[in-house]
Amino acid sequence: MVKQDQPHSRYQHLFVVVRFDERLELRNAVSLVSAWATRASAEAEATRLRDLVVGDGSFYHVVVTRLKEGFVEVTQDSAF
């Protein structure tokens, strides 16, 4: 049985808040807003954002993705 917050036990997962904007061209209409360690946190953020932008032509959805090896943790001290 698959747990909701860990879709596949072999991999660590991230729950990503994705914004879809109907006002923009397709290639610019989708953006990854933020990534969360738990589905509950991601859903709470998506709900918060939905409540902020009611009626502006955009909506927020949560998707799950795998965290691959080689991931580098970014901190406030990280340089880009």
* pLDDT tens-digit readout, 41-68: 999 999 999 999 888 889 999 999 988 7
Q: What is the rounded average pLDDT of the residues 18-27?
A: 91
Contact status, residue 60 vs residue 33, Cβ threshold 8 Å: yes
Domain total in the chain = 1
Strand order in the sheet with 30-36: 30-36, 12-21, 58-67
Distances (CA, A) of 73 to 38, 57, 67: 17, 33, 11
In a domain, 48, yes or no: yes
Host domain of residue 24: 12-67
Give pLDDT, residue 3. 47
Which residues does 50 contact at the CB level (< 8 Å), separation at least 6?
Answer: 59, 60
In a domain, 32, yes or no: yes
Map residue 42 onto helix, strand or coil. Answer: helix
